[in-house]
A and B are shown apart, each in its own frame.
Chain A
Amino acid sequence: MEKFTVHTGTAAPLRRSNVDTDQIIPAEYLKRVSRTGFADGLFKAWRDDPTFVLNQPAHATATILVTGTEFGVGSSREHAVWALQDQGFRAIVAPRFGDIFRGNALKGGLLPVELPSEAVEWLWDALDADPALAVTVDLEAREVRAGERSWSFPLDDFSRWRLLEGLDDIGLTLRHEADITAFEGARPSRLPRTQAA
C-alpha cells in the first residue's frame, strides 16, 4: 500500500449527501477480476451530465473529493474505493461515512477525512469561488488546511500509523499467529465445518 503522509492537491466539491455505493460505481462495473480499471464506472449515472463537477475542467484532475454526509453507505464493494483511486483521488472529505466504505478506504490507503458540515460547506463555497484552491490533508497532524483555515479530523492511532508506514494488514496480523493457533485449539468441536456435512 502506498504511504499517506501529507497530501496537497486540488479538490472537487460534490454537493450531494447520501452518495451510496451504487452511485459511486454501479453493479454492472463490478465484473472485473483485477484491482484496477474501475474509473470508467465511477459516478456513472452523472458522467454524461456536462454540469457534473468532475466534468468541469477546473475539477477534472482533483485529488480530494469534498462531499456531503453519509458518503459510501450501501454495499461492501471495495470497487468503490478502487474506482475513486483510479480516478486519482487520495482523500475524501465528508461529515460522515458508511462504516464498510470507511474501513475499505483505510485498507486501501484512500484517506476518509471526517470534518463537520460547516467545514464541508466552507470548502464547497471556497472551491466554487476558486477551483484552484490548494487543499492540504495532513495525516501526521490529522489536519486539513485550505486558505487561512484549518480543521483537525479524527483517526485512531493504529490506522494512522498503518497509513503513514504503508503497512500490509495481513502481515501485521500474522505477527500474532501463535495467538490465533492457541484460540483455534480451544474452539469447541461442535462448531460447524463447511466440509464434513
Chain B
Amino acid sequence: MSDQPRTLAEKLWDAHLVRAGGDEPDLLYIDLHLVHEVTSPQAFDGLRAAGRPVRRTDLTIATEDHNTPTDNLFSIVDPVSQTQLETLRKNCAEFGVRLHPLGDDEQGVVHVVGPQLGLTQPGMTVVCGDSHTSTHGAFGALAFGIGTSEVEHVLATQTLTQRPPKTMAVTVDGVLPEGVSAKDLILAVIAKAGTGGGIGHVVEYRGEAIRALSMEGRMTVCNMSIEWGAKAGLIAPDETTFAYLEGRPHAPKGEAWDEAVAYWRTLPTDEDAVFDAEIVIDAAELTPFVTWGTNPGQGVPLGAVVPDPSVYTDPVQRGAAERALEYMALTPGTAMRDVDVDVVFVGSCTNGRIEDLRNAAEVLRGRKVADGVTMMVVPGSARVRAQAESEGLHEIFREAGADWRFAGCSMCLGMNPDKLAPGARSASTSNRNFEGRQGPGGRTHLVSPQVAAATAVAGHFAAPADLV
C-alpha cells in the first residue's frame, strides 16, 4: 500500500481489498458475519434457489434476539415469530452455521454476543443484517449494517462490493463531567450534527474523553453512529481494548496474541492523516441528555425545556419539530424534568451490557421505582444476565420494584411481546425514538442507564444527582 499517512478507516479498507478499482466497486473481504432471525430467511432462500453453499461457515455465527420473549425462555406466543425462529434454526442446521438459540448460554442481542465471545477484534471487517453493527467499531473494526441481499452476498462469497466512504473525525477533547456518560456524549453529538450529518462517512471518535471510556462506553458511542447516518463508527484500539479482549473465548492466545497486539498497534490513524470532515466537541460542556422528539437528533440537556419549533430557521427542521411535538404530546417551554413517564426500559445493544446494568443498579440501590411507573431491566445477553446475577444486581432491581428479564432486544423495537402501549411514554436506554418504534403510538425518550434509573425513581425525567 501507499506510504501516504492513512486514517484507521483507510487502513482497515486497504487490508481487506480483494480487488480494487477498475469499472467496478471495490471488493472487500468480510472477517465476521453475524446473523439473526429477522434479516436472514430470504438470504438463505436465495442460496437454496441458486444451489450455493455458505462459503465460510467458520466466519459466520447466528443468534436469536429480535423476536424472542424476555419473560420466559420457552413459549413464543406469536406463531409468526415462532416460524421465523424455526426458520433460522432450520437454515443454520442445513448450512452448518453455529447458532445460539433461545435458552442457550451464549444467546443474546447479536451485537452483545460478538464482543463478549471475543469474536470482534481490532483490524477486522464485521457485518450483520442490522444497522447497529456499527457497535463493533468500538474495537477498531470496520463494522457496518447490510440489507438482506447483501447478507446473501456475504454468505455466498464472504465479500461485499463497496465504494470507499469518506472519513470524518469526531474529536471529544477534555474530561466528561461527573455523572455524564457515553450515552449523553453520543446523544449530544447527534443533536449537534443532525440525523443526516454522517451520511456517506465512516466516523472515527477520538480525543481524550473517548480514550477515557471503557469498552462498554465505546460500544454505546459506536452503536449510535448509524443514528446520525454514518456508515460506521470507529475507535482506535488501545490498552483498554486489549485488556477487554485478553482471555475471551475467541481471542488469540500465546504467540498469536502477541502477534495480534503488535498488528493492532499499527492501526491507529497516522499523525498527518487527513479526514474529509471534522467535528470538535468540548467534553466539559456536556450534561445528561434526553431526547424530546421522534428522531435521535431531537435532544436537549436534561435541565433544558422542550424547544419551540420556531427556533429552527430551516423550514424542514421546523416542520419535523412541529410534527414531533404533536406525536410526543409535548408543549414547548415545558421543563424536561416536569415530564412524567409511564415506562422505563434499560437494555438493548446500546445499553444492555454489564456496566450499564451496574450503573442503573447503583442508582436504584435502596430506592423504589415510583408508583405508576413500570421498569424493565433486560440484559443484552444470557451471559450478561448470569454475570449480573453473580453480582447480585438482580436483587437490587427486584427490591426496587423493577422487572428483571431474560436477554433479547425486548422493548427496543415493537416486534416481540414487550411493547409500549399507545400513548404511553418511556424513558429508554435504546437507540431509536422513531414514531411507533417501541409499539404503535408509543412515545420514546432516549436516555442513559443512569438517567433511566433516576427517572424510574422520580417518576419524571431526572438525573441521579436530583434524587435525595
Contacts and interface: CB of A to CB of B under 8 A. Distances in A.
B58 A45 contact: no
A98 B435 contact: no
A48 to B, nearest CB: 11
Interface stretch (B252-260, B328-336, B382-390): B252-260
Interface residues of B, number: 83
Say what secondary structure dominates the interface of chain A: loop
Contacts of A166: none
A99 to B, nearest CB: 6
B319 interface: yes
Interface in A153-197: 156-158, 169-170, 172-174, 176-177, 179-180, 183-184, 187-197
Interface of B: 18-19, 23-25, 27, 29, 31-32, 38-39, 41-42, 45-46, 50, 52, 57-61, 66-67, 78, 80-81, 83-84, 87, 98, 117-119, 121, 124, 129-131, 133, 145-150, 152-153, 156-159, 161, 163, 195-196, 199-200, 226, 229, 231, 249-252, 256, 259-260, 263, 295, 316, 319-320, 323, 413-415, 432, 434-437, 440
Contact of A173 (B42, B153, B195, B250): B153
Given A33-B83, A191-B31, A192-B250, A20 B145 contact: no
A96 interface: yes
A98 B38 CA distance: 20
A170 B152 contact: yes
B440 A26 contact: yes
A105 to B, nearest CB: 9
A30 interface: yes
Given A78-B42, A158-B25, 4 more contacts: A23-B435, A27-B66, A78-B129, A173-B157
Interface in A99-120: 99-100, 103-104, 107-108, 117
Contact of B67 (A31, A98, A191, A192): A31
A96 B150 CA distance: 21
Given A20-B295, A31-B81, A99-B199, A195 B98 contact: yes
A76 B195 contact: no
Contact of B146 (A33, A34, A68, A100): A100
Given A78-B149, A96-B199, A176-B27, A26 B414 contact: yes
B434 A22 contact: yes
29 contacts: A22-B413, A22-B435, A22-B436, A27-B66, A28-B415, A32-B80, A32-B84, A44-B436, A70-B199, A77-B38, A78-B39, A98-B199, A99-B199, A100-B146, A103-B146, A103-B147, A156-B25, A158-B23, A170-B50, A172-B161, A176-B19, A180-B27, A180-B157, A187-B29, A190-B252, A192-B119, A192-B124, A192-B252, A194-B58
B145 A76 contact: yes
A81 B146 CA distance: 13
Interface residues on A, range: 35 or more
A44 B195 CA distance: 23
Contacts, number: 205
Nearest to B160: A173
Contacts of B50: 170
Contacts of A158: 23-25
A108 B38 CA distance: 18
A11 interface: no
B435 A45 contact: yes
B25 A76 contact: no
Contacts of B259: 188, 190
B229 A73 contact: yes
A183 B249 CA distance: 26
B229 A70 contact: yes
Interface string A7-21: 000000000111010
A68 B195 CA distance: 14
A194 B61 contact: yes
Contact of A180 (B29, B32, B163): B29
Nearest to A190: B256
A156 B163 contact: yes
A33 B152 CA distance: 14
A129 to B, nearest CB: 20
A141 to B, nearest CB: 20
Given A96-B196, A158-B23, A195-B58, A27 B413 contact: yes
B149 A108 contact: yes
B147 A100 contact: yes
B80 to A, nearest CB: 4
Nearest to B145: A76
